Structure 1
């Protein structure tokens, strides 16, 4: 097969952390004889000057690149903040049409494989109709839990699902929500994410690693962008009620100063370590050194940090939202908090620290989340779509 992947979340040199999980998924998709090209559109922005903050990343993104052996192009498309939300798929499809038409002269793709329902999946549906090809859509999280709250966007998503060959979701909770919104049950399949089991693995010498990091007591790790919905504030409040527990926070973002101020106000600044952005290659050491990884988010499909921690042998405390209960469902995976509050998260951390599972058992459980199986299941849906067209 010749597969055209479309996703504005695909990582690039200016946004290396952007949708790494999509890159992993696509990297495990191809079988011998398959060809893949990635079209990863980037919002148009006129300047790459650091003065413009994260918007400058759009200006710095390359026009084309090769990552993990795949050719990737980054055509620009117009974005109208707030007022242009309902027009976003049309603007994306119109901007991509000439680029895809030119690409098709040398790469006559069999199907379009899109990631994130809106605007990417809806735009993929428009392009698939223009080029007479089947398309898949993949739902990842907020494209189901948040965007369909808007009536126009919900109608477009459901119309695209009706035309798609298939739709995948990364967890059963997202599938259930799509069905509740009106999607046909026979269109939606659960294909879970995987984890890089070679990169994320238990440390060879955990005690030596903990000494290097200066950890001599219970340690908790919270990973993610420093924004409100990730719940780092709840984790700080939870740890404040647990004497002797150290909290490591890996991530950067706009709530950095506020979170530091919170730790100081609660009198636990010396027990909360703000590590800033941590490259993916360094994360396994942090997971491996921690006794518990905590995810206090308010909405996720299946968060990468859950699977990464488990692969390193570290059990979880997670809030009972969306896909998290589908991961934290056996004792060796950890515990779900009773609700999304600092008290409930703290109680779950305390319970887990008092009876930690064997780290080897946690790792064995994580091995079911293999990217190779994810790729196999996803490719089978693409093959069915191409066969149905023939």
Structure 2
């Protein structure tokens, strides 16, 4: 047997004295030196003590005469994976088992989720094992003794598609994509017993619209984190044949990425602005189907899912049919209240619903609305939204008001009541009714969170009403800032004409802020007690009266937050996983 103590100690940059001090009980540097040079017998007791001091399994301190040594073959630098001039012996921290040879990649600068000093242990796999390592990190040999390192997302013949990690710390992967010649793939991941989901989602964040459909992204990321479903999202981005104006940055955002362990492909489809509604499902299919077929051939999917009923649902139905897979479609609100009342869209939606193995609705009220337009009620499962409980919680009104002044540039008079309205600035959300109600409440301020085409009209309306100093347009806020505004507010007011079950409702309640909302969608599924707020007509006077009522007898933030104690992204993902499992079990 060959003693490896010295090799392991050197690799860990420890001196004899440091190893001796780390032993339990401590010993001397001279003793460690004699043990590693063979001048003293290496007993089982000494192996256990020294193995613990070095942080390795004791059996790794020795190896057989004919036993192969794993090799360090490459290092990960700012410019990517670089081959070493000559492979060096590497010391495994533990016995990983398996028969395939192990190689090592050393991380020298932070890359993606890897830190400087990390070692990635890789097992050599043949090309036909590619389906086992989709969405896993791989090291691929290139010509001239070079390597490529990144997340395996695609394969086309002899080419593989990799996404390299971003420099610095973080979990997202960069959005550049290249194909590398396939030879043999070295991967730290092995075969997983997971079902594979292909989700079609036009409603999804991208580099140009980072707040667009964030609740869909959080849902998919939470599902992927459970390690029961491997999730691939295709997020088709519609742009005109010649993208100009506001479509130019959107076209530039049509890039593939790995985001929180979810592969997101973003193909472009041809959009005809203003009149393209009837054609969008077909255009999406034309752009997405070749990609879906290729990905399915590489690593077969088990289920196709659509995250919005139109145009996603009819497009996903065609793709599921072509792949021979079961289909699920989720309704979220506007897809039913808007598209469900357009004859050309409703025909396609009904056809897709008949094909689907199951349908989802974000509230019981929306499920009833779906049935009213002819979608099969017996297929519908209610699937409530999720919530990031680490962000959305009561932060304290006074403290939040101070943070709002410091971080958002919105100082508030200490005694002035504040209401918040969170939602896109569009007629359906009803911000104009809130501004009109404000005119009836002289001391109240309004913080409007969101962006949209109505902003200029709302600013003009507030100015004409003499309310410019009390109506504050905050624009789009990220998730870290939104809880500050909600916790500072005395109420969140959103007089929508229609909703499914608004995420803003749930997030406000979680921050301890009661609601004043209209009887839209799942409003009565959330506002079930006075602590949760008030349901009012879409009328400025009714909004003002409800606010006066809440201000005169405010509920405690803790009591308000308890109204949504059942909401979390973990619960959302658990319910979604169980629903998908039922669809597969039903055949």
Q: TM-score, normalised by structure 2?
A: 0.63
Higher helix share: 1
Counterpart secondary structure, 1:101: helix
1:227 aligns with 2:426: yes
Report the equivalent of 1:327: 526
1:293 aligns with 2:492: yes
Q: 1: distance between equivalents of 2:254 and 2:538?
A: 40
Q: 1: distance between equivalents of 2:336 and 2:231?
A: 27
1:24 aligns with 2:24: no
Q: 2: distance between equivalents of 1:35 and 1:252?
A: 34
Report the equivalent of 1:207: 398
* Aligned partner of 1:35 among 206, 211, 230: 230
- The question of whether the paired residues in 1 share the 8 Å contact of 2:254 and 2:268 is answered with no
Q: 2: distance between equivalents of 1:182 and 1:48?
A: 37
Q: 2: distance between equivalents of 1:113 and 1:28?
A: 16
Counterpart secondary structure, 2:298: coil
Q: CA deviation at 1:121?
A: 1.0
Counterpart secondary structure, 2:209: coil
Structure 2: give runs of 5+ residues left out of the alignment. Answer: 1-194, 406-410
Number of corresponding residues: 384
Q: CA deviation at 1:188?
A: 0.7
* Aligned partner of 1:314 among 513, 530, 540: 513
* Aligned partner of 1:165 among 357, 364, 373: 357
> Comparing 75-84 with 164-173, which one deviates more in the overlay?
75-84
- What whole-Å deviation, never above 9, does each CA across 1:353-378 have from its counterpart, x for those lacking one? 11211110111112211222221222
- The question of whether the paired residues in 1 share the 8 Å contact of 2:237 and 2:254 is answered with no
Report the equivalent of 2:140: none
Q: 1: distance between equivalents of 2:572 and 2:375?
A: 22
> Comparing 279-288 with 342-351, which one deviates more in the overlay?
342-351
Report the equivalent of 1:111: 303
Superposed structure 1 runs of 4+ greater than 6 Å apart: none
Q: 2: distance between equivalents of 1:11 and 1:98?
A: 23
Q: 2: distance between equivalents of 1:263 and 1:149?
A: 33
Report the equivalent of 2:546: 348
- The question of whether the paired residues in 1 share the 8 Å contact of 2:526 and 2:563 is answered with no
Q: CA deviation at 1:17?
A: 0.9
Counterpart secondary structure, 1:287: helix
Report the equivalent of 2:558: 360
Q: 2: distance between equivalents of 1:150 and 1:269?
A: 38
> Comparing 284-293 with 99-108, which one deviates more in the overlay?
99-108
Q: CA deviation at 1:329?
A: 2.0
- The question of whether the paired residues in 1 share the 8 Å contact of 2:220 and 2:262 is answered with no
- The question of whether the paired residues in 2 share the 8 Å contact of 1:6 and 1:113 is answered with yes
Change (3 A) 1:48 1:163: closer
Q: Which has the larger radius of gyration?
A: 2
Q: CA RMSD in A?
A: 1.6
Report the equivalent of 1:258: 457
- What whole-Å deviation, never above 9, does each CA across 1:185-225 have from its counterpart, x for those lacking one? 2201111112111111111x432332453331211111122
- What whole-Å deviation, never above 9, does each CA across 1:251-280 have from its counterpart, x for those lacking one? 222222221222222222211122222222
